[in-house]
Amino acid sequence: MKHIIFSLLVLLVVTCAWGCASPEDSGQKAKAWEVVFDGSNLDFWKPSDYWKIQDDSLHMFRNDKAAKGSSGYCVSKKKYQNFELKFEWRISSQGNSGVKYRYNQDNKGKQSLEYQVLDDIGLKDNKDVFNSASIYGVKVVPTDKVLKPIADGVFNTARIIANENIVQHWLNGKKVAEINISSKEWTDAYRQYNKKGVVNADRDAALMMKAGSIVLQNKGQEVWYRNMYIRELP
């Protein structure tokens, strides 16, 4: 009997390991961490003129011209498909930014994913699917999420995991959003968000599965990013 129980426990551990999204949990070996931004240089990026290094942060200064189109974007030189990205961020009052990923210039990023970075209080009229840490336009985040007050000037910690069709968003050490791009949940949410236009959800899902750039988006308001690292997943 003890032998049977021990065997079942081993089987349970192995099954759980292979069912998790994190490479550490699955036993798969991710590549080494790459520096995205550590305060020393912009070698990872093709930044616009609106982004500058300030102290240890990558700082987007307020500029109304950057609010138009993608002129305020800071775009990675390299493309990533399956990866884990960790970073810290803080936003100005009524600020609106975001981290786009799997972004491709050929479709102008329209079929990319985004980790929303927002002043939830100052822009409280936004729907939940646009609030901080949401999978922009698709997946809501819990109302009890822990978000650092803007007035305190404290950075939030964030993590994005994109592994094939599974996407996760983390905020201050807690997973707050997850979705399967191949699922009916995603298709329904995507169509609802884009209901004013003609949508080919299957086509767009396929585009969002492709490798693309990491992009720091901005609408002209101040935002700060720091301690940014990425590693590719197997």
3-state secondary structure 23-57: HHHHCCCCCCCEEEECCCCCCCEECCCCEEEECCE
pLDDT of residue 26: 44
Q: Is the CB of residue 115 less than 8 Å from the CB of residue 167?
A: no
pLDDT of residue 210: 93
Spell 161-178 as b/e; 16+ CB within 10 A means b. Answer: bbbeeebbbbbbeeebbe
Rounded Cα–Cα distance for residues 161 and 191 (Å): 23
Rounded Cα–Cα distance for residues 133 and 117 (Å): 6
pLDDT of residue 154: 93
Q: Is the CB of residue 162 less than 8 Å from the CB of residue 82?
A: yes
User: Which region among 12-16, 94-98, 126-130, 224-228 has the lowest average model confidence (pLDDT)?
Assistant: 12-16
Rounded Cα–Cα distance for residues 127 and 155 (Å): 23
Rounded Cα–Cα distance for residues 211 and 179 (Å): 18
Give 55-65 pLDDT, tens digit per residue.
Answer: 999 999 876 65
Per-residue CA distances from 64 to 69, 72, 108, 225 (Å): 11, 10, 21, 20
pLDDT at 218 over 90: no
Which of the four pLDDT bands, split at 50, 70 and 90, describes residue 198?
Answer: low
Give 106-162 pLDDT, tens digit per residue.
Answer: 766 667 899 999 998 888 766 667 899 999 989 988 888 999 988 888 999 999 999
Average pLDDT over residues 72-98: 94
Average pLDDT over residues 157-177: 97
The residue extents of the domains of the chain are: 22-232
pLDDT at 98 over 90: yes
pLDDT of residue 2: 45
Entry pTM: 0.84
pLDDT of residue 220: 78
Q: Is the CB of residue 121 less than 8 Å from the CB of residue 48?
A: no
Which of the four pLDDT bands, split at 50, 70 and 90, describes residue 80?
Answer: very high
User: pLDDT averaged over the chain?
Assistant: 83
pLDDT at 177 over 60: yes
pLDDT of residue 48: 81
Please state, as a whole number, how many other Cβ atoms lie within 10 Å of the Cβ of residue 18.
10
For the domain made up of 22-232, give the CATH fold. Jelly Rolls (2.60.120)
pLDDT at 168 over 80: yes
Give 15-34 pLDDT, tens digit per residue.
Answer: 333 334 554 444 567 789 99
pLDDT of residue 47: 82
pLDDT at 68 over 70: no
Average pLDDT over residues 36-54: 92
Rounded Cα–Cα distance for residues 13 and 35 (Å): 33
Classify burial at 21, counting beta carbons within 10 Å of its beta carbon; exposed 0-12, middle 13-18, buried 19 or more: middle
